[in-house]
Amino acid sequence: MNLVLFEPSELSAPLPRADPRARHIIDVLRRTPGDTFDAGLVNGPLGKATLTGITDASLTLAFAPTHEPSPLPPVTLIIGLPRPQTARDILRDTTTLGASCIHFVVTERADPNYATSTLWTSGEWRRHCLTGAAQAFDTRIPEVTWTHTLATALASLPGTLSGAPADRVALDNYEATVPLKVCHLLSDKPAEPAGFSILAFGPERGWGATDREALRAAGFTLAHLGTRVLRVETAVVAALAISRLS
């Protein structure tokens, strides 16, 4: 991990030696009492942590904040509910790349039972976001939901951010007529302020006809990433990277 992240409440108690972060501090960073390392508070400041003590059972730490991280990129993702293992990869990698919100939604062809996976019900999903944030050397994690249908997610979308228009693009292998790279998701002109980008991805079986109708009615352009068929997790990462560079 490039950054060791802590919940604010964790700093008031010793860190158990069995915690993966403790093992990382001792075995990978090779810190000893008095040494410092890069750390941050989840959705809070970055700074330096000092290892103040080591026992057989735990580590004691002191944290000194230095600065706030940059805001998350103004990008919302809508993703048809995939299998839990695919969702784990998406949570980690999209948090690393940067997005403000991720809605995993039930679509025409998505399996609604995936929403009852322990990934969601146990809160495990948050751990994968934290892994992605630590990789990115950031403390901020996206808002994540998994209880919407496509219809309710579309109804809740913001139209603007700070007065700038929202660009809405849905990735589709079959009916899209334009490549994503020409959509200029974040801004039509470099000199203009970036709008709020909304990227939508079908589940592993793709969009259904009803889904496409709803997306078009909500102002989405259907775009593609080329002729090759990608896994959902690959398409999400590729499209998010393209949108960040537009």
Parse the chain into domains and list their residue ranges: 4-67, 75-245
Residue 194: the pLDDT is 47
**What does each C-alpha distance from 38 to 18, 21, 49, 116, 142 come to in angstroms?**
20, 12, 6, 36, 21
Q: Average pLDDT in the 221-230 region? A: 91
CATH assignment of 4-67, among 3.40.50.300, 3.50.50.60, 2.40.240.20, 1.25.40.10 = 2.40.240.20
* pTM, two decimal places: 0.89
Other beta carbons within 10 Å of 11: 15
Q: Please state whether beta strands 164-171 and 160-161 pair in parallel, antiparallel, or not at all (unpaired).
A: antiparallel
Q: Helices 84-97 and 232-245 sit at what angle, rounded to 10 degrees?
A: 10
Q: In Å, how far are 18, 61, 102, 158, 207 from 93, measured between CA atoms?
A: 26, 29, 12, 24, 22
Yes or no: say if 23 and 39 are a contact pair by the CB < 8 Å rule: no
How high is the pLDDT of residue 246?
Answer: 55
> Is residue 158 pLDDT above 50, yes or no?
yes
pLDDT tens string 164-219 = 445 899 999 899 988 887 775 444 444 333 456 899 999 999 999 999 999 999 99
Q: Which CATH class is domain 75-245?
A: alpha beta
How many Cβ atoms sit within 10 Å of the Cβ of residue 38?
16
pLDDT band at 44 (very low <50, low <70, confident <90, very high): very high
**CA–CA distance, 228 with 62 (Å, rounded to integer):** 50
Residue of 15 and 178 predicted with greater confidence: 15
Start-to-end Cα distance in the chain:
28
Contact 96, 73 (CB under 8 A): no
The partner residues of 164 in beta bridges, in order of sequence, read 161
